[in-house]
Structure 1
Amino acid sequence: MSKLGNLGARLHRGEVSYDFIGHRKLWYGISILITITAIVGLAVRGLNMGIDFQGGAVFTTAKSTSVSVSEAERAAEEAAGHEAVVQKLGDGSLRIQIAGMDTKESDKVKKALAEDFDVDSEAIAADLVGPSWGDQIAAKAWQGLAIFMVLVVIYLAIAFEWRMAIAALVALIHDITITVGIYALVGFEVTPGTVIGLLTILGYSLYDTVVVFDSLKEQTKDLTKQTRFTYSEVANRSINGTLVRSINTTVVALLPVAGLLFIGGGFLGAGTLNDISLSLFVGLAAGAYSSIFIATPLVADLKEREPQLKALKKRVLAKRAQASAGEEFTQSHDGEAHGAEPEDAAAVVGPRSQPASRSRGRGRPSGKRR
């Protein structure tokens, strides 16, 4: 069995553990700092919305063109007067995106590009996307996200309880904010693929959270009938028990996504993969973090405000204080007894006097023996 497997088994049995709940203020602080950074990046730089959201034109050159990406970008910006996004596709053709264009402008740009590239204008395909189409896509994306959130809250409130539903919702908002903020900071284009990636990672994030919540629900049955553990301690055991499982599922999910992002989009230059792969990569990592460091500690904070669990915590702490005091008393009593042994030993050193009854018996005449 591997070391990771041994660690997972020991974590599940409670032989080793890390106090995630006890350090929850640290995790909250880190999450707040990352979230503020993401919001500032979103406010300062904004999102690089694709033409599917703001309208524009897409020009695709013939296969295996000799024009470089930088040359095409410069020619497109001079012809259109707008910023252009150029990507080299796998077959060697170029994909040129220019936002905010109508039909007349696209025809002029197409002719100018054909002259600059020294090709026939028919060799360049032009596709137009109106701004109304982009608005519809954005509206549908927001509607889908809102419906997803509502269904998640309803399901978790029914399957578990409303406190867990609130904690899961906070974790999901945390994941979305970080992912969108990183998109703003990196400057990647936001496309319908980005929206698909966002909705996908919310499912992964929810899966990790539900796994921990299910373990917590099982371990907190009849919790108030005992005085050994508080709710926070049981929640911490639930996190440790499912920690290796969460790590394994997250790493397995991140490996192919990292291949799309860093090898496909970066090394091989398939830029069309960046929009969905970045959202998946950041969202999966943020979801694994939030399920461990945000959702479950937040549930523990909300639950321990209940009167029953408050009283349980007092009983547990009082019992531990009483046991600790009794142990200290026993140790001090044993120390005193151990310290008195030399005096007792010194008192019995030397010839021992016989009991008086024996000495008197020996002094008497024994009489004649028969």
Structure 2
Amino acid sequence: MSKLGNLGARLYRGDVGYDFVGKRKIWYGISILITITAFVAVMVRGLHMGIEFEGGAVFNTPKTSVSAATAEEIAEEASGHQAIAQRLGNDTLRIQISGVDTDKSDHIKSKLAKELDVKADDINADLVGPSWGDQIANKAWQGLAIFMILVVIYLAIAFEWRMAVAALIALIHDITITVGVYALVGFEVTPGTVIGLLTILGYSLYDTVVVFDSLKEQSKDLTKQTRFTYSEVANRSINSTLVRSINTTVVALLPVAGLLFIGGGFLGAGMLNDISLSLFVGLAAGAYSSIFIATPLVADLKETDPQMKALKKRVLAKRRAAAAKGESEEAPARDADATEDGEDGDDTAPAVVGPRSGPRAQPVRNRGRGRPSGKRR
């Protein structure tokens, strides 16, 4: 843990780091490939919507020794539709069938009672109409749209429109990946899934805002110096918050993994799968997008600004001049700043994060210039 804390401190100071922004084309390519795969999965396999969205019936049986797999076969044979059966803690069964109307429900109930050797009156049947399911689906889409609009407005006010656009793209990226995974594994989409999606969007946004806040702080008065470009400062912001992002993501994923793999898989509590899968995939995708997508996108959008373009030209020109003189490109002398474009350099500007060829060059301090040395003769 002390080594991890040490690494975090060194990343924050800029002593070490990885060039996330410089390799952004790789991350964009990976994300595009994953997004295309998710779209294909949804188009080919489709989503297994729950009865809350499609309508159907839920049958709760009394205590029985019949297995859930056998109950599924009986229900599918009686209804002609796919059924999902889950064994509850008191040896009762919950059987869910989509696309079932009232008349067919009575027939299925009688068939289940006969095959499970229980009384028909002891089986509780709840029906959900397709119109009510449509209302639930519409409300879910409305909630998602309102969330996105509020996010864009807040980020545009608190930061700037470029960050709002980048955050919105990252959120859409996270939703697409999560929905694609649902299509691939065939898990049922329920209101719990929608709740999980909104939860992971909030978490992804939190992780992104942490990096944006660091970037906003470190890019103040950036055009008044000629040592660093906006992309380099953006890269430092990612590195300075990297350990924090990793720690919070791992801590959040551990209990969700317990719900998904132990509760839903090992213990067979299938009702946990709908929300735990969306949380697990979404948390991982949100951490990825905040580091590899959102901030590099901000850097790309920001460097289309004329001021940032001019800054980049001055920085690169200064580094070429310093390289020609055999000086350090990373921290050229202050006088060079003053003589170029009539600007004063900013020795307190953040350090460039990326591959290094040697130790950090320190700013030149002219202590004692014009003073006697203080040595006695």
SS in 1 for 2:96: strand
Q: Deviations over 1:60-101 (max 9, x none)?
A: 1113x2001111111111111211111222332211111111
Q: Deviations over 1:228-275 (max 9, x none)?
A: 110000000000000000011111111111110000000000000000
What residue is the counterpart of 1:8 in the other structure?
Answer: 8
What residue is the counterpart of 2:55 in the other structure?
Answer: 55
Q: Which amino acid aligns with 1:151?
A: L
Q: Which amino acid aligns with 1:18?
A: Y
Distance in 2 (alpha carbons) for counterparts of 1:38 and 1:87: 28
Give 1:204 deviation, angstroms. 0.1
What residue is the counterpart of 1:209 in the other structure?
Answer: 208
Contact 1:53 1:131 in 2 (8 A): yes
- Which structure features the higher share of helix residues? 1
Q: Deviations over 1:88-139 (max 9, x none)?
A: 2233221111111111111111010010011111221111000011000000
Distance in 2 (alpha carbons) for counterparts of 1:177 and 1:223: 35
What residue is the counterpart of 1:359 in the other structure?
Answer: none
Distance in 2 (alpha carbons) for counterparts of 1:92 and 1:234: 60
SS in 2 for 1:293: helix
Contact 1:90 1:270 in 2 (8 A): no
What residue is the counterpart of 1:74 in the other structure?
Answer: 73
Q: Deviations over 1:279-302 (max 9, x none)?
A: 000000000000000000000000
Distance in 1 (alpha carbons) for counterparts of 2:119 and 2:68: 19
Q: Which amino acid aligns with 2:71?
A: A
Give 1:58 deviation, angstroms. 0.4
How many residue pairs get matched? 328
1:266-277 superposed matches below 5 A: 266-277=265-276
What residue is the counterpart of 2:91 in the other structure?
Answer: 92
What residue is the counterpart of 1:33 in the other structure?
Answer: 33
Distance in 1 (alpha carbons) for counterparts of 2:180 and 2:267: 26
TM, length-normalised to structure 2: 0.86
Distance in 2 (alpha carbons) for counterparts of 1:284 and 1:82: 34
Distance in 1 (alpha carbons) for counterparts of 2:90 and 2:278: 25
Contact 1:58 1:128 in 2 (8 A): yes
Structure 2's unaligned 5+ residue stretches are 328-377
What residue is the counterpart of 1:159 in the other structure?
Answer: 158
What residue is the counterpart of 2:181 in the other structure?
Answer: 182
Distance in 1 (alpha carbons) for counterparts of 2:167 and 2:144: 15
What residue is the counterpart of 2:218 in the other structure?
Answer: 219
In terms of mean alpha carbon deviation, does 92-101 or 156-165 score higher? 92-101
Distance in 2 (alpha carbons) for counterparts of 1:148 and 1:81: 39
What residue is the counterpart of 2:17 in the other structure?
Answer: 17
What residue is the counterpart of 1:309 in the other structure?
Answer: 308
Distance in 2 (alpha carbons) for counterparts of 1:20 and 1:243: 11
Contact 1:88 1:271 in 2 (8 A): no
Give 1:19 deviation, angstroms. 0.1
Contact 1:89 1:269 in 2 (8 A): no
What residue is the counterpart of 2:357 in the other structure?
Answer: none
Q: Which has the larger radius of gyration?
A: 1
Q: Which amino acid aligns with 1:145?
A: L
Q: Deviations over 1:334-357 (max 9, x none)?
A: xxxxxxxxxxxxxxxxxxxxxxxx
What residue is the counterpart of 1:239 in the other structure?
Answer: 238
User: Are 1:46 and 2:25 an aligned pair?
Assistant: no
Q: Which amino acid aligns with 2:287?
A: A
Contact 1:38 1:180 in 2 (8 A): yes
Structure 1's unaligned 5+ residue stretches are 329-370
1:333-352 superposed matches below 5 A: none
Q: Which amino acid aligns with 2:110?
A: K
What residue is the counterpart of 2:339 in the other structure?
Answer: none
RMSD of aligned alpha carbons: 1.1
Aligned-pair identity (%)? 82
Give 1:143 deviation, angstroms. 0.3
Q: Which amino acid aligns with 1:62?
A: P
Contact 1:179 1:283 in 2 (8 A): yes
Distance in 1 (alpha carbons) for counterparts of 2:72 and 2:103: 20
Distance in 2 (alpha carbons) for counterparts of 1:4 and 1:231: 28
SS in 1 for 2:84: strand
SS in 2 for 1:327: coil
Q: Deviations over 1:309-335 (max 9, x none)?
A: 11111111111111111018xxxxxxx
Distance in 1 (alpha carbons) for counterparts of 2:6 and 2:316: 32
What residue is the counterpart of 2:262 in the other structure?
Answer: 263
What residue is the counterpart of 1:193 in the other structure?
Answer: 192
TM, length-normalised to structure 1: 0.87
Distance in 1 (alpha carbons) for counterparts of 2:37 and 2:222: 40
1:96-135 superposed matches below 5 A: 96-135=95-134
Distance in 2 (alpha carbons) for counterparts of 1:239 and 1:288: 12
Distance in 1 (alpha carbons) for counterparts of 2:122 and 2:297: 58
What residue is the counterpart of 1:350 in the other structure?
Answer: none
Contact 1:46 1:184 in 2 (8 A): yes
What residue is the counterpart of 1:368 in the other structure?
Answer: none
